Amino acid sequence: MRSRGFLRMKQYMWQGKALRIGVFCLISLSLISWDKVSKQLAKTHLRDQPVRSYLDDTIRLQYVENTGAAMSFADNLDPRVSFWLLGILPLAILLGLFAYVVVNVGEMRSARMIGFSLIFAGGMGNILDRLVFDRHVTDFMNLGIQNFRTGIFNFADLWITTGVISLLVWRRTRPEGTDQPMDSTGEHG
């Protein structure tokens, strides 16, 4: 009798974990798709066009292909070095992140899982561009006021930044020693 209860509990826990892995994958695939579609729209409508400005120049849409990392850092690397340093190494790190989430998702709060999903999706969105389009990542958004502006970025960059910020905020606001998912009453499971 005792082993049946244990098996049911284990099966319930696995179903919950499998569901959470599915949610992680669904969020990630949705965000990667959003990034890919937006980059294709930028290529179609912004390439070889003048900068488009909105909301009194707060938002600019401008097509740029970036072969470096953030804000063209390492743009002048040898293509072979760039392939490994900006393509394969980040891909390996993201696969490690995916494995970490799969192993730990059962004990992870939803906010943390979503933060990891944002980072994973953003990283994959840019790495897919790097690997498929010979190191070229499409960037097209710029925000700012007058001369105080961001670099030109894409949704993948936005996902990564939002994911990192959410993990930092989550880390600072969670009760010490808790990483358990909460039930509907707010209690840790």
- Active-site annotation, residues: 139, 157
**Which among 171, 165, 156 has a CA at the least distance from the CA of 39?**
156
**CA dist 189 → 13, 17, 20, 101, 167 (Å):** 11, 13, 14, 18, 20
- Report yes or no: 49 and 64 within 8 Å, Cβ to Cβ: no
Write down how long the chain is: 189
CA 101, 106, 108, 111 torsion: positive or negative?
positive
User: Cα–Cα distance between 63 and 51 in angstroms, integer?
Assistant: 8
Q: Which of 90, 93, 103, 87 is nearest to 24 (CA)?
A: 103
Looking at the DSSP bridge assignments, the partners of residue 61 are 52, 141
Cα dihedral 18, 24, 25, 26 sign? positive
